[in-house]
């Protein structure tokens, strides 16, 4: 028989609490207490057998000692058996309570006891699962250009071997109006990271390489100061692994004969001999127009954070350079299938790009000879009379472009907005009879079909520069919302200005460009409305720089080229 059982910290079956408000302890529970409680009724019974006080006639006989002894034995035996039964019942109940306590410990108390460990383990697992769920799948097909922005994640060997997560790229933009150098720094995911206080180094100088057509060696040497500034921001230990590219654009494309090839070879030799950066012969080249347009589209949409979204959420780009103008925007797969075939040797209208897990059909076309500086020559040729209505009154001189010289003299009556617009319209060949497609821009070129990818247009380079110089946008701002009609209004004012007054009216215009301010603004309006078919009141965004994080980055094609070379470098 169990005399006592101890359950520390337990509680009664019905959850009863003691007077102190704490769970009632079983404590050391003695069976003697139970026996005492059972014997108390017996004592009360024996007391009731005593004679009541008083003189009543009825008398009671006291039991004999033998009777009392017999009764005593009977009571003891009876209670002994009761005690045994109660002990067995108590053991059974306590065993049930122990089982219940063990069950409660295994489910609720253990969870409560180890809740800290469970939280520490479960939270990181949930976060990791959430991140893996959000990560885009890696693309499985090739893109144009080579592996450009493949999910913006890459692990080139030159980053891994350097022990640094940063990589640099140096890009020279050898344009017709000047040479510019861009230096970019990327992290391992091809996100831009600061170089000092800015996200890029940008330096430019004039003239461009095409101005040295008669001296290719001097053309290469003209890049010396730009190269030195670029190398100074690249850590010395990374210079030998940092790619340097030179992309010549329309200015060199228009040079006659093998002049451009000789200039480019001098530049290759110059970089090989005088640069500590990593260079390759095929990294010094003349960009074709579609490459330039595609890089520009990638640059602006990369900076805006649009890559990876639907094509309808991207922006279209018009980049007006000196020698050519490019238009690029994403179109639907259905419109891409309708793209007309071009003759052999010409670029296709549509490029397929796979960027951040999304496939884009990019309409891109470069209009050679229709950059701002090249268009001046086309407009001068379009006017058959001796005086040109696009030049400010009082100007008599000549215009040199791409090795050719053109007579440039104002009409005796001065510049005239309407006559100048007719000359620009003629130069654009808007009604070109060779247009055999459903919709054309000018010169018989398919316009891409329009659509959502073109509804939000960013126009760059000379569009921004002339608008700022004409005074209808703030030159200190990186972007400005305008309409094509704003160029028309500015052109009207410019065409009414005489050359003698132009310097005062347009203090920001360089002296060599002053005679052409009417021509330039008229051409830009005509290009947008008649050439590209925009509504005169359609809102467009003039862009010089794009905000990326807390910094501003030049909205130029070299960033797209830098992303490509940083992705492909080994």
Task: Determine if the peptide bond prior to 209 is cis (ω within 30°).
Answer: no
Whole-angstrom Cα distance, residue 459 to residue 555? Answer: 10
Tokens of 301: 């949409």
- Helix %, strand %, coil % of the chain (to 5): 45, 20, 35
- Please tell me the distance from the alpha carbon of residue 392 to that of residue 522, in angstroms, as a whole number: 12
- On whether 322 is known to bind a ligand per the annotation, the reply is yes
Supply the DSSP symbol for 342: P
Cβ atoms of residues 430 and 442 within 8 Å: yes
315 and 543 in contact (C-beta within 8 Å)?
A: no
For CA atoms 334, 339, 341, 345, give the dihedral sign.
negative
Contacts (Cβ under 8 Å, ≥6 apart) of 449: 331, 335, 338, 363, 438, 439
How far apart, in whole angstroms, are the C-alpha atoms of residue 406 and residue 391?
13
The Cα angle at residue 199 between residues 198 and 203, in degrees rounded to 5: 75
Structure tokens at 506: 């347009």
Q: Which of 200, 231, 292, 488 is catalytic?
A: 292
Is 324 among the annotated ligand-binding positions?
A: yes
Rounded to whole angstroms, how far apart are CA atoms 570 and 565? 10
Residue 323 marked as a ligand binder: yes
C-alpha dist (Å) from residue 288 to 244, 367, 368, 547: 19, 11, 10, 28
71 annotated to a ligand binding site: no
Quick check: is 40 catalytic?
A: no
> 395 by DSSP, 3-state: which?
coil
Q: Indicate if the alpha-carbon torsion angle 550, 554, 556, 561 is positive or negative.
A: negative
User: Binding site: what residues are annotated?
Assistant: 322-326
Annotated binding site for ATP: 322-326
Which residues are catalytic, by number? Answer: 292
């Amino acid at each position: 028989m169990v005399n006592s059982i101890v359950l520390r910290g337990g509680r009664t079956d019905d959850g009863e609490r003691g007077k102190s408000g704490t769970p009632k302890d079983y404590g050391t529970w003695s069976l003697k207490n139970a026996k005492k409680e059972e014997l108390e009724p017996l004592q009360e019974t024996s007391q009731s057998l005593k004679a009541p006080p008083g003189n009543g006639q009825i008398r009671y006989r006291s039991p004999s000692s033998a009777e009392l002894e017999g009764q005593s034995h009977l009571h003891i035996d009876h209670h002994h058996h009761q005690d045994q039964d109660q002990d067995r019942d108590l053991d059974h109940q306590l065993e049930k309570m122990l089982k219940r306590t063990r069950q409660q410990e295994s489910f609720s108390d253990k969870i409560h006891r180890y809740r800290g460990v469970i939280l520490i383990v479960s939270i990181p697992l949930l976060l990791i699962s959430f991140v893996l769920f959000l990560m885009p799948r890696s693309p499985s097909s090739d893109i144009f250009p080579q592996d450009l922005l493949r999910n913006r994640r890459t692990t080139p060997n030159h980053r891994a071997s350097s022990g640094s997560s940063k990589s640099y790229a140096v890009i020279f933009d050898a344009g017709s109006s000047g040479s510019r150098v861009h230096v970019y720094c990327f992290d391992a995911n091809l996100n831009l990271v600061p170089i000092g206080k800015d996200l890029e180094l940008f330096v430019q100088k004039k003239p461009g390489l095409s101005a040295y057509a008669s001296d290719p060696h001097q053309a290469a040497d003209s890049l010396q100061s730009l190269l030195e500034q670029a190398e100074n921001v690249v850590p010395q230990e990374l210079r030998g692994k940092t790619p340097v590219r030179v992309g010549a654009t329309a200015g060199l494309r228009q040079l006659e004969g093998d002049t451009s090839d000789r200039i480019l070879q001098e530049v290759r030799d110059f970089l090989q001999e005088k640069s500590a950066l990593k260079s390759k012969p095929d990294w010094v080249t003349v960009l074709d127009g579609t490459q330039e347009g595609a890089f520009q589209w990638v640059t602006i949409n990369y900076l805006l954070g649009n890559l990876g979204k639907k094509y309808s959420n991207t922006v279209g780009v018009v980049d007006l350079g000196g020698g050519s103008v490019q238009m690029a925007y994403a179109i639907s797969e259905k419109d891409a299938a309708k793209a007309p075939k071009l003759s052999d040797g010409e670029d296709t209208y549509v490029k397929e790009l796979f960027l951040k897990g999304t496939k884009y059909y990019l309409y891109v076309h470069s209009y050679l000879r229709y950059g701002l500086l090249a268009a001046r020559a086309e407009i001068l040729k379009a006017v058959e009379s001796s005086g040109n209505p696009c030049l400010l009154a009082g100007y008599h001189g000549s215009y040199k472009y791409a090795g050719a010289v053109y007579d440039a003299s104002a009409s005796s009556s001065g510049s005239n907005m309407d006559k100048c617009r007719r000359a620009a319209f003629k130069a654009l060949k808007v009604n070109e009879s060779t247009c055999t497609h459903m919709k054309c821009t000018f010169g018989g070129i398919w316009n891409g079909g329009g659509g959502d990818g073109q509804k939000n247009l960013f126009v760059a380079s000379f569009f921004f520069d002339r608008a700022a110089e004409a005074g209808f946008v703030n030159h200190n701002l990186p972007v400005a919302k305008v309409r094509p009609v704003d160029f028309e209004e500015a052109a009207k004012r410019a065409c009414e200005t005489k050359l003698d007054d132009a310097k005062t009216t347009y203090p920001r215009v360089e002296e060599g460009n002053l005679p052409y301010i009417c021509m330039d603004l008229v051409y830009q309006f005509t290009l947008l409305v008649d050439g590209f078919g925009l509504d005169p009141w359609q809102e467009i965004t003039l862009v010089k720089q794009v905000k990326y994080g807390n910094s501003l980055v030049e909205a130029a094609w070299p960033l797209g080229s830098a992303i490509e070379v940083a992705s492909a470098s080994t």
